Amino acid sequence: MKFFISLFFVLLAFSSFAQDAVIAVGEAGLDKDKFVIDNPEMKNLSGDEKALGTELIDILRNDFVFYKHKFNNVDYSEKGLDSFTHPQLDKWKESGVTYFVASYMSSRFGGIEAKFRVWSILTGKEIFTKTVKVDKKNLRLESHKIADGIYRSITGKASVFLAKIVFVSDRGTFGKDAIKELYIMDFDGNRVEKLTNFDSIVLSPSIAPDNSKIMFSLIASHKELSRNKVRTIKNIDLKVYDLRTKSISTVSAKPGINSGAIFTASSDVIYLTLSFSGNADIYEMHLASGKMRKVTSHYSDDVDPSINRDGSLMTFLSNRSGRAHIYTMNPHETEKEVKRISFVGQFNATPRFSPEGKEIVFSSWVDNAFDLYRIAADGSNLSRLTKDFGSNEEPVYSPDGEFIVFTSKRIISQNKAVQDVYIMNRDGEILGQLTQDFGRCFSPQWTN
């Protein structure tokens, strides 16, 4: 079908033109804080309660490992010898520790009560205290909340510990019968929840700024009357999932592509790709009224918009040069200040702004595989983030700009490949695999 060809032209475009002066990115040489999460004091706890308290501390420590580019997590402790009631700050200062976390666990019906204290060793001041009631059901959520509180007390900024990742997976289906549904999980890959059951193919999710809604596209079936006969046709419709009510509604079902939709900062205005007029163009749409304005107007296909926080700059993919490359423009008028900024690889895909809007991360087809790159919004400072790590696509910055989630494909055999969600820090250090044995995973997106 014509609109499928338009939507996926990026998979068919090839070129030999490559961008010069690509910077290889490694782990930045930063001065890290020495950070200790001590073993907890445990008083009169049963075996199950002790296990719960130990798991809570393990989750906290694992959370902060993600920020190892900021924190040097010291691998020693006082083994719970009254470090909560008698923290001995002078000893930690002599060891070069800058922040120290202690806890006290006591029994509570159905779980435990956990008290936390955090000290800045350099100032000798207690900077955070918190008491939580924890049981098996709320363990991971409460652990992430504590980790976020500790992180905020040290940095003054929000962490990613409470963020979630929405993604698409074909779990349990194969080949021509593959079905792709929408899922959501914690930032560390735990607590996966299935959101949709269409028995069809979900594409390109996007999260509202207030995390209340997820937009996505769906290959949907429609009945059409033609020559007094009813026939079924396929179309790429745009849907929205309300995370509060669990309801799903249709945003746009115009003939052809209704895809690549993104929210603006106001949540009631979106940008999306439509092809009802022929080729694919990007439009602005007001959700309440349905009023639309054409943003791109070119004989080439323009798809996959991303917009910076203040809405002053949009990036998108276009084959205006004959191959799929990245462009930027002012989205407030049609075809205003259009500029090509990518020249690396044979073709590019999925450009996405960093939270502050200064950088764009994207994938590029180089040496017969996709690899990840980042580039300044003005087209300068191109950096390569992955190499010799499978085929890597669909990168997206975390809400704090410190991390990038992406999908990576591994060829297992001639007839088998796996594709999972991974996380790296913004400098390209791979931190871990978030999905495993979960089918082929696509299009990860952070909540805000």
- The pLDDT of residue 65 is above 90: yes
Q: Which residue has the higher pLDDT, 227 or 323?
A: 323
Q: What is the pLDDT of residues 377-389, one digit of tens each?
A: 999 999 999 999 9
Taken in order of first residue, the domains within the chain and their CATH numbers are 2-27+164-446 (2.120.10.30), 33-155 (3.40.50.10070)
Proportion of the chain above pLDDT 90, given as a percent: 82
CB 361 within 8 Å of CB 404:
yes
For 61-85, what is the mean pLDDT? 83
Q: CA 400 to CA 421: how far, in whole Å?
A: 19
- The pLDDT of residue 18 is above 50: no
- The pLDDT of residue 10 is above 60: no
Q: CA 127 to CA 137: how far, in whole Å?
A: 29
Query: What band does 415 get if pLDDT is binned at 50, 70 and 90?
Result: confident
Spatial CA neighbour of 433 closest among 441, 423, 447, 425 = 423
Q: Are strands 359-366 and 369-376 parallel, antiparallel or unpaired?
A: antiparallel
DSSP 228: T
The one-letter amino acid at 317? L
Q: Tokens in use for 179?
A: 């079905």
Q: What is the pLDDT of residues 88-100, one digit of tens each?
A: 899 889 989 999 9
Spatial CA neighbour of 446 closest among 306, 284, 302 = 306
Q: CA 421 to CA 402: how far, in whole Å?
A: 17
